[in-house]
Structure 1
Amino acid sequence: MADSPSSTPVSFSEFEAVTTTQWQERIRRDLKGQDPATLTWNTPDGLTLEPFYHREALDSLGGAPTPLVRTASAWRNVPTYTVPSGDRGHAAISRAAEGLRRGADGAHFLLSNAAAFDVGYLHQQMPLHSAYVGYSMRSGLGELVQRLQELELTPRGFVVLDPITCHAPDMSAQFGELRKAMLLAQGWPEMHVVGINSAYYADRGATITQQIAFALATAATYLSELPKDELTVEMVARSLHLHVGINPNYFFEIAKLRALRRLFATLLQAYGVPTELAQELPIFASTSSWSQTTLDPHTNLLRVTTEAMSAVLGGATAVSVGRFDSLFHESSEFSERLARNLPILLREEAYMGRVQDPAAGSYYLETLTDQLSHQAWTLFQKIEAEGGLPGATGLVLQELHASAQAQFRRIANGEQVVVGTNKFQNPNEQFDYNPKRLLRSREFDSTRATYPTEVLRLATAMHFDRRERKKKRAALVLLGAHTNQHILESFLETLPRMERPELRDAHPESTLSVLFSSAEEATLMYATPEQFGRLARAISHVPIDEPNFLPPALLTADLPTMQEAIRVFGFKEFTVQGYSTEDVLARLQGKK
């Protein structure tokens, strides 16, 4: 930017400059004959990262890029509160108001039913003229904005509807809702009503390249489709807001947010909109559910700490830290206080907010930002070549599915470490929740990276618990078609390598994985969907030909009935010569 102050070179004359060649020679010497190329990292995004970067890295970029300029005085601490369907939101609003008194700067409400949300009560409890409030929903945007307007104030915050990302069936009606909301909110310069839900992809295993590209493709559709009558492209651009999910890949997440702003400027330029608006794009960053785990759950506190730091250093304008126990506990004052205080510590004690762009000039981060930008723009162009969104939704979902499955495989075989789950487990862990109830719950998030590993561990815990209590009952846990290979990989990791190939080839990918646990033993099996359906009907005392029966994920029955049903319906079993079930389960629990 023309008015940006020029940087003053910093030099330390007492130190001799070290050239890239000298660094490379030192690396070769320290490796003691090993090839330095072994230190190169080929990332899941398809990037090749070097073991070190030097000043030449910036030269290859054409010099150090212009630092990002934070338009707001400071980033905001905005906790998230879920409002169930049919609930008017009073409990969530009261907790959010208490959060404001204890250091939060606003609140983000996940609305299952926006029409039922009590905006009047919200106005009574929270200062909407100063608090930063966000609303995420699937419908009812126009009505919500209308009710906010009736309060005769100037609210600050954002709304996320995003019918493109959420695959809304009534796309034209939803676009009408967005236009209505934009017209109603014209006098609210700090309220952004065209939200892009990029967190949807982060929470389902998308690579960082994909998250950036999918967000750009969504923005391009809104910039193309929403302008109508008095609504201009620039008005749409000024109404845009981005909700991103942050995962633990620290430096990549910093680079992700920086690349998003740069590419957003490029997108605006293509639409003839002032590129300066890219600096003003509000980015609401929430810690991602994808990386959360039920095993050794206090490690989630460490994950959200690095995630929040990435968000702040990457240039987010608002941050929301999730509760460490959100997967298996209802909200509590304790877990909400920890989540709320973490950003306060980063701002008040670590002073993360005093520097405009801490990553600016870093050889590594500037290179990484540039590489992610190129990769994401290439994928974005591929989506646009397919007709853009929503027409290219099939391509997007195909890319998302492939990346999620790849992560499942890396976690199953130990290549991608999840501390406390697939490595460095706590062998003496005691669950303060009921594994059986959790696995049966419809609210249990099965889209996360660690879900397949968790199911096996939790079912194993149930088996040992039943064995100790000597109850002659049995349980059958459906692990699902997409978890087959990941469960098998985890199972095979417990065995000598010589015994793995025959088992690896014995499990067709078209079948379901099932863990059968009795009072005496636990067995990993596989079955076709038809076999499992017949078994579930038999155990649940439902007619075999009942077409509308939906089998639960966890079945229980008396042991003889379960054993007979499994024999009749022909389930197949993984058997290991020379290893008892107890031995394998002990290995899975980290006891051997």
Structure 2
Amino acid sequence: MASQKLFEAFPTLTSKEWKHKIQAELKGADYNETLVWESLEGIKVKPFYHNDEFENNVTVHTSVSEFKILQNIFVHDVAKSNEKAKNSLSRGAESIRFTIENEAVAITELMANLPLENVTYYFNLPFLSKDYCAALNQFATANKANFIFLNDAIGQLVAEGNWFENLEKDFENLNTITKTSAFPFLSIKSGIYQNAGANMVQQLAYTLAHINEYFNRIEKINHAITIEVAVGTNYFFEIAKLRALRILFDALKKEYDYTFDCHIVATPSKRNKTLYDYNVNMLRTTTECMSAILGGANAIGNLAYDAIYHKDNEFGDRISRNQLLVLKNESYFDKVNNPADGAYYIETLTEQLAEKALALFKDIEANGGLITQLIEGTIQRKIKESADKEQELFDSGKEILLGTNKYPNKNDKMKHELELFPFVKQNPRKTLITPVIEKRLAEKLEQDRLALEE
């Protein structure tokens, strides 16, 4: 009864009445020009959203309680990687993503004495080998392990400009793997689109077209597809992006009579990370991980605050893992499923992103599909156009990275801290297509600052 009286004390106002009040407060300024802004995706964002203007509830099942804390491990030394995996799992990690450089890595040595129950192990493979997948499959089956293989031949073409071998051979290998694998074996490395500067509509459409190429070229897929996404700093848009991705995937899979779900693995973007005032990167990755959780990612591998200029190190890994532990165990982000349901703003963004991405996807398919448009250079050109727009906003100060193009600390010195080269690497080589190049917004500014350091 108390709650009923409380709500009765406040009369219901229509959106028209709210707009009238806002217009009065603006004292003659134009409502649309002053308060409505347009995103890089062409979405006009209003200052408020009201239920009398909201027609459809966007149904997206996001089981937030299932999200797992993922630790990334690059396997250079098998014994050290094994120890690092054990240590990470004992300190809060719930799943491991091994990046294996070559087929010489022995699975039995890498997995020695690692816990197998309730832990998912991802194997990021920068090579395509049906024999190695068979070895992984054999080990996992014999030991009742939960493995996910991350093979992406199209992702190799996008990032490197060449197939592993060639189109026919790569898909022949993938068709062999799908017939023998008892575990998910296919990944969509869509993070490259975000890190290269594609807007969210492009990211979704290119990811969907990426998936559709596999649906068309692989005879029968029997397991969930893993989609590896990069999450940027536009908080509510990123929540909506992941929700829209599930809507689009569900719509596409029905056309092929598939029933499996997609498995989303999220990682914070590198595009907005900075060399100077690097501790701000922790704030950026925190909000990005929050977006990933609320958007419904199944697993989240955080990015260390110093990842762009330091080699893997225990401190950076621990801090990045602890950020997720705080969100999960102290901020209770894993306690409510479908947390964005009923939020008019997020649901409206979800619907608009999905609709715009679907229209772009249809255009891509009408013009030959993703691979054809990559060979023609259309995808690369569109990403560059979007990236240039965002770069212009950064260069003009309209898009702000605190500590870098706003309130920089002039006393910061980074020249002697660089263990990794933090800028785009020039690697001239013969390629089938122009590769999609990841590039951070602050690179030019940072290079200029480094050149002035004594």
TM-score (norm 1): 0.69
Asked if 1:133 is matched to 2:121, the reply is yes
Matches within 5 A, 1:479-498: none
One of 77, 81, 95 as aligned partner of 1:92: 81
What does residue 323 of structure 1 align with?
A: 304
Aligned partner of 2:240 in structure 1 is 255
Distance 2:87 2:369 in 1: 43
AA aligned to 2:57 is A
Runs (4 or more) in structure 1 with deviation over 4 Å come to: 434-446
Counterpart residue identity of residue 458, structure 1: L
1:173 — aligned with what? 169
Residue equivalent to 1:555: none
> Of 311, 316, 336, which residue of structure 2 is paired with 1:355?
336
The residue aligned with 1:538 is none
Instruction: Summarize the Cα distance change of 1:140–1:89 in structure 2 as closer, same or farther, 3 Å threshold.
Output: farther
Structure number, greater radius of gyration: 1
What is the DSSP-based 3-state SS (H/G/I as helix, E as strand, rest coil) of the residue aligned with 2:8?
Answer: coil
Q: Which runs of 5+ in 2 are unaligned?
A: 428-436
* Residues 185/155 of structure 1: CA separation in 2 closer, same or farther (3 Å cut): farther
Deviations 1:538-586 (A, max 9, x none): xxxxxxxxxxxxxxxxxxxxxxxxxxxxxxxxxxxxxxxxxxxxxxxxx
Match of 2:57 in 1: 64
Distance 2:298 2:199 in 1: 22
Aligned counterparts of 2:272 and 2:304: Cα–Cα separation in 1: 13
Cα pair distance change 1:388/1:119, threshold 3 Å = same
Q: Quick one: distance in 1 between partners of 2:419 and 2:263?
A: 42
Paired with 1:440 and 1:153, the residues of 2 have a C-alpha distance of 42
1:442-457 correspondence runs (5 A): 447-457=439-449
Contact 1:81 1:92 in 2 (8 A): yes
Provide TM-score, normalisation by structure 2.
Answer: 0.89
Percent identical residues: 30
| CA contact 1:88–1:116 (8 Å) conserved in 2 | no
1:38-187 pair list within 5 angstroms: 38=33, 39-59=35-55, 63-70=56-63, 74-83=66-75, 87-113=76-102, 115-151=103-139, 152-167=142-157, 168-169=162-163, 170-186=166-182
Which residue number corresponds to residue 568 of structure 1?
Answer: none
C-alpha change, 1:134 and 1:435, in structure 2 (3 Å) is closer
C-alpha deviation, 1:160, in angstroms: 2.1
**Structure 1 gaps, min length 5:** 1-8, 466-592
Q: What is the distance in 1 between the residues matched to 2:65 and 2:181?
A: 23
Q: Counterpart of 2:451? A: 459
Alpha-carbon deviation of 1:179? 2.3
Post-superposition offset of 1:440: 9.2
Deviation at 1:408, TM superposition (A): 1.7
RMSD (Å), alpha carbons: 2.5
Give yes or no for contact 2:423–2:443 (8 Å, CA) kept in 1.
no
In the TM superposition, what is the alpha-carbon distance from 1:434 to its structure 2 partner? 4.4
1:442 Cα deviation (Å)?
A: 5.8
**In structure 2, which of residues 215, 233, 246 is the aligned counterpart of residue 223 of structure 1?**
215
What do the CA deviations read for 1:330-387 (whole angstroms, capped 9, x no partner)? Answer: 2222111001111111110111111111111111111100110111011111110111
Aligned match for 2:186, one of 194, 203, 212: 194
Greater relative contact order structure (CA < 8 Å, 6+ sep) = 2
Match for residue 370 of structure 1? 351
Instruction: Note the C-alpha offset of 1:327.
Output: 1.5
Say yes or no: does 1:33 pair with 2:28.
Answer: yes
Asked if structure 2 preserves the Cα contact closer than 8 Å seen for 1:57 and 1:363, the reply is no
1:425 counterpart = 2:408: yes
1:159-214 C-alpha deviation (Å, 9 max, x unpaired): 2221113214312222223223223323xxxx421111111111211111111101
- Provide the C-alpha distance between the structure 2 equivalents of 1:405 and 1:162, rounded to a whole number of angstroms: 27
Deviations 1:415-463 (A, max 9, x none): 21111111121223243734698579969997212111111111122xx
* 3-state SS, counterpart of residue 282 of structure 1: strand
Tell me if structure 2 keeps the 8 A contact 1:110–1:136: yes
Q: Contact conserved, 2:423 with 2:439, CA < 8 A, in 1? A: no
Could you tell me how far 1:93 is from its partner in structure 2? 3.0
1:328 partner letter: Y
Q: Is the 8 A contact 1:96 1:106 kept in 2?
A: no
Name the CA distance, whole Å, in 2 between partners of 1:33 and 1:96.
62
Matching residue of 1:22 = 17
